[in-house]
Amino acid sequence: MTFRTYARHLREGAKNVFRNGWMTFASIGSIVVSLLILGVFMLLALNVNKFADQVESQVEIRVYMDLNADDAKIEEVDRKIRNLEQVKSVTFVSKEEGLERLRESLDENAKSALDGYENEQNPLPDGFDIEVFDPQQVAYVAEQIEAFNVSDADKPIYGVYYGQGTVEKLFRITDAVRNIGLVIVAGLAVMAMFLISTTIKMTIIARRREIAIMKLVGATNSFIRWPFFVEGVLIGVGGAAITTGILLYGYSQLLKTTQFDLGLMMIQLSGMDEVAGFVTVTLLALGALLGIWGSTVSVRKYLKV
Please write the tens of the pLDDT for every residue from 163-214: 776 667 777 777 777 777 778 777 776 776 676 666 666 666 666 677 777 7
Q: Collect all residues with Cβ–Cβ distance below 8 Å to 73 and sequence separation of at least 6.
A: 65, 154, 156
**Residue 35 sits in the same domain as residue 66:** no
**Contact at 8 Å (CB) between 287 and 31?**
yes
**Residue 180 sits in the same domain as residue 51:** yes
pLDDT of residue 225: 72
Strand order from edge to edge, sheet including 157-161: 87-93, 127-132, 61-65, 157-161
**Residue 284 sits in the same domain as residue 182:** yes
**Residue 21 sits in the same domain as residue 114:** no
- Domain end call among 115, 131, 161: 161
Distance CA 59, CA 135 (A): 6
How far are the Cα atoms of 27, 241, 250 from residue 35, in angstroms, in the given order? 12, 10, 14
- State pLDDT tens for residues 109-159: 666 656 666 666 677 888 899 888 888 888 888 888 888 888 777 788 888
- Domain end call among 117, 140, 161: 161
**Residue 52 sits in the same domain as residue 69:** no
**Residue 90 sits in the same domain as residue 113:** yes
Give the range of the structural domain holding residue 75, as residue numbers without chain letter: 60-161
pTM tops 0.75: no
DSSP 163-211: -TTHHHHHHHHHHHHHHHHHHHHHHHHHHHHHHHHHHHHHHHHTTHHHH
Domain CATH for 150: 3.30.70.3040
**Residue 47 sits in the same domain as residue 183:** yes
Among 77-86, 182-191, 249-258, name the most confident range: 77-86
- Domain end call among 161, 183, 201: 161
Instruction: Say which range, 18-22, 71-75, 78-82, has the weakest mean pLDDT.
Output: 18-22
